[in-house]
Structure 1
Amino acid sequence: MTVEKIQIDTLVVGAGQAGVAMSEHLGKLGVPHLVVERKRIAEAWRTARWDSLVANGPAWHDRFPGMEFPGLDPDAFASKEQVAEYFEAYARKINAPIRTGVEVQNVQRNAARPGFTVQTSIGVIEARHLVVATGPFQCPVIPPIAGEITGVTQIHSAQYRNPGQLADGAVLVVGAGSSGVQIADELQRAGKQVYLSVGAHDRPPRSYRNRDFCWWLGVLGDWDAEAMQPGKEHVTIAVSGARGGETIDFRRLAQQGMTLVGLTRAIDGGVVSFAENLAENIARGDENYLALLDAADAYIARNGLDLPLEPEARQMLPDPVCVTQPILELDLHAAGVSTIIWATGYSVDYSWLQVDAFKDNGKPQHQRGVSSEPGVYFVGLPWQSRRGSAFIWGVWHDAKHIADHIVKQRSYLAYRDAGQRQADAEQSIISLIQPASLMGVR
């Protein structure tokens, strides 16, 4: 293998949506840069998601401003393959300088000179600025309570592909955010007996009064919220674009035959214990749902919009037995559970990044993506600048801020003081005079 040494002003690590957005803005501003990706462009959309996954926002919303999804109804929800192909096509459109198959192994700040030395699988890259665009979904997290259970297969939602991969028997899905609830629903529709462990969650309507919830969060200003509400740090969002988009309704899932249980607390000898908070979690999800309906109604009235009434949106199914008489313990073997799917989120791994840009908990220390380590930037983080940062369009706007900051720093680095400018001017004059002197002119 050929070992290279590359020098570049800005190196972007990762060619998913964050890396492609970063390349567009850097390119427009004339910043020499290189994007490296260890696999393929938007690889996580291709191989780290289940087969039937679609985007959680409609195509008119979950895209970059410069290109629509080709051949897709704006109100439809793009499949994971369409999303990956979109970013590939976008990279071609902007002529992004992306090199795939390049793994970054180590980054260190240079001593007594500017920039960073980056060790990669193809050699050394010297860069003045470094943008980390690896995203928040790097390392699947299975909580320590899992342990080993004889006769029960345990996987993370990142490893789930389709119902056919699972052994015969019932399934316990732990986590009722978008991933967990969509996987549980798919398994139940495929004929599996499913237990769904429901923790704290927000439950927005998929649409209300002929507008998608993405539109409502936009006009109500919620996408621009700059900080998470206190106490909401561990609250997931249950929303789905599956089957054309639908509101997640846990009572409806129970009516279909799914068994709801509370937050998973512990597993001991094949017996799972659940918190006594299922009804409370469902009720708080309802409060979140109804609060958005109230805000939407008020906005319509305030602005005199002609949008159809939807009184049925406020109708609730009765609480199922599994909510009124919750199961607090489940013997997995007695219940015939052969698989546990942990839809419990991800952590990040920045062990390759040997710079002073992290808090004590290992998370990036930054202001809108500008890290505490000069020259190091992050893009693609949840709540990087606002609530919308987690969405495709939000990443694009965050990347613009980072690119602008890099350009500003480049202008400072290009500054020469008055003495140096005077010396340069004198040298220019000498250069002009010397040719005449050589010809004997005095």
Structure 2
Amino acid sequence: MSSQEVEATEVLVVGAGQAGVALSEHLTKRGISHVVLERDRIAERWRTERWDSLVANGPAWHDRFPNLEFEGVDQDEFARKDRVAQYFEDYAAQFNAPIRTGVEVTSVRRREGAPGFDVETSAGAIQANYVVSATGAFQLPAIPPIVPENSGITQIHSAQYKNPEQLPAGGVLVVGAGSSGVQIAEELRRAGREVTLAVGPHDRPPQRYRGRNFVWWLGVLGLWEAATPAEGAEHVTIAVTGARGGYTIDFRNLAHDGIRLVGRANAFADGKMQFGSDLAANIRRGDANYLDLLEQADEYVKRTGIDLPEEPEAHIIGADPECMTNPTLELDLAEAGITSIVWATGFRTNYDWLQVDAFDEQGRPAHKKGVSTEAGVYFLGLPWQSRRGSTFIWGVWHDANYIADQIDMQRGYLRYEGSSRPVYDEELASA
């Protein structure tokens, strides 16, 4: 392709999920030319990498962008996944976002002898002054290499799980006790399956307390704005759900409902899964996180005098089930009737296409609030990018505003051409 045929744009945004749509709005407001490339459809992960019954974990009044409400969804309801995907399509249409779907970015390299980057895509080459990775951190399903593929056990990641009918008859082991693992385990149990849930370290906020959703409490308490996670909590998962109208997850209740709770899945040999002895400690850690938020909420009510109903029963922690006091450390899967495993074990990043100096020794983005160590390259949608809320819908919108500001400032520097009048030494000496 000749240089005349190479498309040029000021900013290239990779990914048209919530991060890409948010950034496109902010760039559009500033009059900055840009193109958003998406290899599938807008908000594709909400469509095809989530289970059928998934709803947002926060209510519609909160889990949205500022300039569009969820039409047809009550503000206190939790929008279904397909409705969330449609929301981003509708939002992009509001300002005619320059999004191109079905186009995959295969490589980004810094230009030689010229500013900006050379970008190769499935639809041709593009030159861009700035590149923003809006693909987030949840890119490739991560399944730990514990159970061999030839074990005879059906294994899928939570991103591939759709509904109970998808799995073969028999019991199911769900590994991971964040929002995905808990919701999938409960759905399977309600469908009549025998379910074992491996529980690791987690936080579990109350879904509602004293008439307010947990997102409201995190807001008024200033906890959404925390710049870094608590020490030792960098990778702790959050157990919260908007399913069935939203309710507070309590692992003791899950055990009461017939779900077998075990500690972290550590190893597999001869058809047997070994689990850690950390189940009780993990659950009690979640309890402590839960009670701490209740206490902060009560102090806020006392300090401000706001009229909210008391809820003393929320502070009561039930008795430990036998699975906590006498934990299962090894389980023969065949004897237990377990025929499948759902790995709700998170995701890993994949930046093979971004061939620039913007990563640390572990291959993670090296950045400060999304501004990378490679001039002209930015990240958006990363956990704790600027605050606790960075991966939430509303949080990524505010981070996108910051990235757009940074790009605009850099454009201002590049537009400066310097003074045409020479400054002489004698002028400087007399100044």
TM tier relative to shorter chain = over 0.9
CA displacement, residues 303-344 of structure 1 (integer Å, 9 cap, x when unaligned): 001100111111222211111111110000111100011100
1:318-397 equivalent positions in 2, closer than 5 A = 318-397=319-398
Q: For the Cα contact (< 8 Å) 1:203–1:237, is it kept in 2?
A: yes
Q: For the Cα contact (< 8 Å) 1:149–1:270, is it kept in 2?
A: no
1:120-199 equivalent positions in 2, closer than 5 A = 120-199=121-200
Residue 48 of structure 2 corresponds to: 47
TM-score between the two structures when normalised by the length of structure 1: 0.93
Q: Does 1:207 align with 2:211?
A: no
AA matched with 1:414: R
Name the SS of the counterpart of 1:135 in structure 2.
coil
AA matched with 1:325: N
Residue 224 of structure 1 corresponds to: 225
Residue 304 of structure 1 corresponds to: 305
Within 1, Cα distance between the matches of 2:129 and 2:150? Answer: 50
Within 2, Cα distance between the matches of 1:383 and 1:233? Answer: 9
Q: For the Cα contact (< 8 Å) 1:171–1:195, is it kept in 2?
A: yes
Residue 405 of structure 1 corresponds to: 406
Q: Does 1:315 align with 2:301?
A: no
Within 1, Cα distance between the matches of 2:22 and 2:151? Answer: 46
Residue 12 of structure 2 corresponds to: 11
Range that drifts further, 17-26 or 230-239: 230-239
AA matched with 1:193: E
Q: For the Cα contact (< 8 Å) 1:273–1:329, is it kept in 2?
A: yes
Within 2, Cα distance between the matches of 1:249 and 1:299? Answer: 24
Residue 29 of structure 1 corresponds to: 30
CA displacement, residues 75-118 of structure 1 (integer Å, 9 cap, x when unaligned): 10011001000000000001101111110001100011000000
1:259, CA displacement in angstroms? 0.4
Q: For the Cα contact (< 8 Å) 1:4–1:122, is it kept in 2?
A: no
1:80-119 equivalent positions in 2, closer than 5 A = 80-119=81-120
Name the SS of the counterpart of 2:258 in structure 1.
coil
CA displacement, residues 145-170 of structure 1 (integer Å, 9 cap, x when unaligned): 23235321011111100000010100
Which runs of 5 or more residues in structure 1 are unaligned?
Answer: 423-442
AA matched with 1:28: K
Within 2, Cα distance between the matches of 1:203 and 1:57? Answer: 14
Equivalent residue pairs, number:
420
Within 2, Cα distance between the matches of 1:409 and 1:286? Answer: 47
AA matched with 2:67: G
Residue 273 of structure 1 corresponds to: 274
1:135, CA displacement in angstroms? 1.3
Q: For the Cα contact (< 8 Å) 1:12–1:131, is it kept in 2?
A: yes
CA displacement, residues 266-316 of structure 1 (integer Å, 9 cap, x when unaligned): 111210011111111111111110000000000000000110011111122
Larger of the two Rg values belongs to structure: 1
Residue 426 of structure 2 corresponds to: none
AA matched with 1:303: T
AA matched with 1:272: M
Which runs of 5 or more residues in structure 2 are unaligned?
Answer: 424-431
Residue 427 of structure 1 corresponds to: none
Within 1, Cα distance between the matches of 2:145 and 2:379? Answer: 29
1:233, CA displacement in angstroms? 2.0
Name the SS of the counterpart of 2:249 in structure 1.
coil
Within 1, Cα distance between the matches of 2:42 and 2:320? Answer: 45
Within 2, Cα distance between the matches of 1:378 and 1:79? Answer: 27
Q: For the Cα contact (< 8 Å) 1:18–1:399, is it kept in 2?
A: yes
Within 2, Cα distance between the matches of 1:188 and 1:149? Answer: 26
Residue 62 of structure 2 corresponds to: 61
Name the SS of the counterpart of 2:107 in structure 1.
strand
Give me the identity figure in percent: 63
Q: For the Cα contact (< 8 Å) 1:52–1:79, is it kept in 2?
A: yes
1:410, CA displacement in angstroms? 0.5
1:5, CA displacement in angstroms? 2.5
Name the SS of the counterpart of 2:149 in structure 1.
coil
AA matched with 1:356: D
Range that drifts further, 229-238 or 395-404: 229-238
The verdict on how the C-alpha distance between 1:313 and 1:4 changes in structure 2, with shifts beyond 3 A counting, is farther
Q: For the Cα contact (< 8 Å) 1:196–1:260, is it kept in 2?
A: yes
1:234, CA displacement in angstroms? 2.7
Q: For the Cα contact (< 8 Å) 1:132–1:379, is it kept in 2?
A: yes
Name the SS of the counterpart of 2:156 in structure 1.
strand
AA matched with 1:368: K
Q: Does 1:286 align with 2:287?
A: yes
Within 2, Cα distance between the matches of 1:176 and 1:421? Answer: 67
Within 1, Cα distance between the matches of 2:280 and 2:43? Answer: 39
Within 2, Cα distance between the matches of 1:26 and 1:360? Answer: 31
1:4, CA displacement in angstroms? 6.0
Within 2, Cα distance between the matches of 1:392 and 1:118? Answer: 28
Residue 263 of structure 1 corresponds to: 264
CA displacement, residues 194-227 of structure 1 (integer Å, 9 cap, x when unaligned): 0000010001100100000000001111100001
1:421, CA displacement in angstroms? 11
1:414, CA displacement in angstroms? 0.5
1:226-265 equivalent positions in 2, closer than 5 A = 226-265=227-266
Name the SS of the counterpart of 1:418 in structure 2.
coil
Within 1, Cα distance between the matches of 2:135 and 2:374? Answer: 17
Within 2, Cα distance between the matches of 1:149 and 1:314? Answer: 47
Cα-Cα RMSD: 1.3
Name the SS of the counterpart of 2:46 in structure 1.
helix
CA displacement, residues 228-253 of structure 1 (integer Å, 9 cap, x when unaligned): 11111231110000001010011111
The verdict on how the C-alpha distance between 1:421 and 1:18 changes in structure 2, with shifts beyond 3 A counting, is farther
The verdict on how the C-alpha distance between 1:421 and 1:187 changes in structure 2, with shifts beyond 3 A counting, is farther
Within 1, Cα distance between the matches of 2:260 and 2:74? Answer: 35
